[in-house]
A and B are shown apart, each in its own frame.
Chain A
Amino acid sequence: MSAPVKENPVNKYLRMERMPSIWCPGCGIGTTVNCFARALDESKIPLDNLAVVSGIGCTGRVAGYLNVDSFHTTHGRAIPFATGLQLARPDLKVVVYSGDGDLSAIGGNHFIHAARRNADLLVVMVNNFTYGMTGGQVTPTTFRPAIASTTPYGAFEQTFNMPMLADSCGAVYVARWTAYHVKQLAKSMAEAINKRGFRFIEIAAPCPTLYLRRNKLGEGLDEMKFYKEKSVIRNGVDTREVALDYRKEITVGKFVDRERPTLEDAMDQRYKEALGAKYVPYVSPGAAKSQA
């Protein structure tokens, strides 16, 4: 019995020659990438106009698997790299794709400022509640009292509510989903990619090898069942009410969707007002293709 095999529609968005990925079986990162590929399909944005920037860590490898112009930068600094790239190339859509350790710990300052200045970036944060690449250490999103290799007796710090942080700094789009919500996540990504300004999507995702195993929470599939059971969709809810807690209800949905001038718009507007006709606007090097 050999039914004709149709090519997976997401393949063209991936560097198939680089498969298999480094991600463990049951890891949620690949699921989010699948959603991202479907979002690209749905949003119809020209792939040549898309650049993806990652930091370091398991999610930091996403950029390298996507079949677009991609940049794998330093730990925590994907956002300022992307801000520089976007300012130099306003004709590109720039997406930052990284993990909770990368974006909320070492890169936390850049996250705050990019949201404040409304840098024209979509920031996708896969939150697996641990540093996977280095062996499962505590992150600013690890719940009390979860076990991590550097909190062997349980985490004891308050966690970041990242949607609230993004919202309070001025992000124009804030959503949270889990790796279980593949349809909603893909739709949210497609919606966010076509918006301008600082957009933030957090995705709770299983790390079976480290976080789940150390905390005796089962396999990746068990965590997906947990997400299904515990998630409550509350679109438009105040982000002060969406903090996560250990094994408690997970508030998901689109929390913020508003308009605000982007960094680039505000910069141009100020120069126009201050300098009038003397202002010489920046011309993107993208106007001339590399092949002269």
Chain B
Amino acid sequence: MSNANSSGTLTGSHYLDGDHACSEGAIAAGCRFAAGYPITPSTEVVERLAQRFPFVGGRFLQFEDELAASIALLGGAWGGAKACTVTSGPGFSLMMEHIGLAAITETPCVFFNVQRAGPSTGLPTQPAQGDMMQARFGSHGDYRLIALCPNSPQECFDLTVDAFNMAEEFRVPVLVMLDEVVGHMTEKVVIPDDAEIKVTERRWTKKPPGEFKLFAPAEGSLVPEMVKPGDGYRIHVTGLTHDERGYPKMTVPEHEKMQMRLWNKIVLNADKIVKYEAKDLDDAEVVVVSYGITSRIAERAMQQARAQGVKVGSFRLITAWPFPEKEILQLSKKVKAFVVPELNLGQMVLEVQRIVEGRTKVVPVPHVGGTVHDPQVITNAIVGAVR
């Protein structure tokens, strides 16, 4: 790591696993505060941060549990640092309350979840994609956030930078949803020069104390600007329903106003947020919707299906949440079937079904997790969908 440049970014070509690529993405994005608690298969992310941070002016602390780590993260973020925490399965469940607190207090922060097979302790060292709905709905109440699904170590780096940027742009928790295989697979990762890495800084207000409201959207935006404690603004931040100053205001109209802005700042900005990778869609009869490691397996299946004469294309989710509703809706009007393989018993496929509304066939290819799909199973689903 001695070749890191003065900013701390490890510019160059490397052979990294997905977990370590996340750590490097965080450093390149300007993250200098991390709170963690060890849990397989995510621990390597914080191990690398613990090793690297003292060389780049960062602070990492291992806390007593995930409840502590996930709120220390918010303390660090409110302090003014770009901050993240890292976990898996059971730890992700414990962090749910603070994902909700981050959502209602509009705290820019990043959570990494390297998914393993559950429920409960499940298969700690083996992959799954079973937390996708938990990522969307896991904390109580209505809220919106952003969740990204890298499918390679390179994308772990790239999407981590995006995650920190979007956290700042939308003042929202962003979840990076790896799976055990992507976290532990080692591939080439190219880290560009700092000049080529787009980094979004926190949107500090220029308004003076007295005029600035911590929860009032900035002009022409749905997202408020921020200040730090210590700057004389005397801010109040609460998990209670609050008004634009941040003071508790527990009335239905105030709750509706707050809730709808939290909702709309993500939903109405979906076009800016949603990323996906489309391949061979022009003449496709069948579209495989996949994400994470499953998208790598599906590629093999699509090759096999094409060899059998099926016109199959790929729609890979990079953003899981918000879900690319508009794009799936358009596709649903022209294709014969969607095939949705995932390492769970049917989660993102529910979104596809919801958007498609029966206009075309939706074929789930579930898998209990613990390993990846046999590509042949996906191939059979693709071929079966049109024959």
Beta-carbon contact of A91 and B230 below 8 Å: yes
CB-contact partner of B71 in A63, A84, A91, under 8 A: A84
Q: Does A85 contact B (CB under 8 A)?
A: yes
The count of residues in chain B whose C-beta lies closer than 8 Å to any C-beta of chain A is 52
Is there a chain B Cβ closer than 8 Å to A68's Cβ? yes
Which 9 pairs across A and B sit closest by C-beta, in order of nearness?
A: A84-B75, A285-B80, A88-B79, A84-B72, A69-B229, A85-B75, A80-B68, A72-B238, A89-B79
CB neighbours (8 Å) of B237 from chain A are: 70-72
- Assembly CA distance A284 to B229 (angstroms): 12
Given known A-B contacts A87-B76, A88-B33, A113 and B64 have beta carbons under 8 A apart: yes
Please determine whether B76 and A84 come into contact, CB atoms closer than 8 angstroms.
Answer: yes
Contact A80 B235 (CB under 8 A): no
Question: CB of A26 within 8 A of chain B?
Answer: no
| A49-B239 contact, Cβ under 8 Å, with A77-B71, A85-B76 | no
Q: Known contacts A72-B237, A72-B240, A113-B64: does B55 contact A85 (CB below 8 Å)?
A: no
B55 contacts A280, CB within 8 Å? yes
- A109–B37 alpha-carbon span in the complex (Å): 14
Q: How far is the CA of A286 from the CA of B78 in the complex (A)?
A: 11
Q: List 5 A-B contacts (CB under 8 A).
A: A70-B236, A72-B239, A73-B239, A85-B75, A286-B230
The CA of A286 and the CA of B74, in the complex, are separated in Å by 16
Measured CB to CB, the residues of B under 8 A from A are: 32-33, 35, 54-59, 61, 63-65, 67-69, 71-81, 83, 97-98, 101, 204-206, 208, 226-240, 247-248
When A74-B71, A109-B64 are in contact, do A69 and B80 touch as well, CB less than 8 Å? no
Across the interface, B239 reaches (CB within 8 A) one of A74, A83, A92, A275, namely: A74
Q: Which residue in chain B gives the minimum CB-CB distance to A289?
A: B231
B233 cross-chain contacts in A, Cβ below 8 A: 69, 290
Cβ–Cβ < 8 Å partners of A47 in chain B:
234
Q: Are B71 and A282 in contact (CB under 8 A)?
A: no
Extra contacts, 10 of them, besides A73-B71, A290-B228 (Cβ < 8 A), are A15-B247, A77-B98, A82-B75, A84-B35, A85-B75, A87-B79, A89-B230, A109-B64, A283-B57, A291-B206
Tell me the nearest residue of chain A to B58, going by C-beta: A282
Q: Identify the closest chain B residue to A82 (Cβ).
A: B75
Give A259 to B78 CA distance when docked, in angstroms.
29
Write out the residue numbers on chain B whose beta carbons fall within 8 Å of the beta carbon of A290. Answer: 204-205, 226-228, 231, 233
Please report the C-alpha to C-alpha distance between residue A113 and residue B62 in the assembled complex, in whole angstroms: 11
- Min distance, Cβ B282 to any Cβ of chain A, angstroms: 48
The one of B56, B68, B75, B238 that contacts A64, using a Cβ cutoff of 8 Å: B238
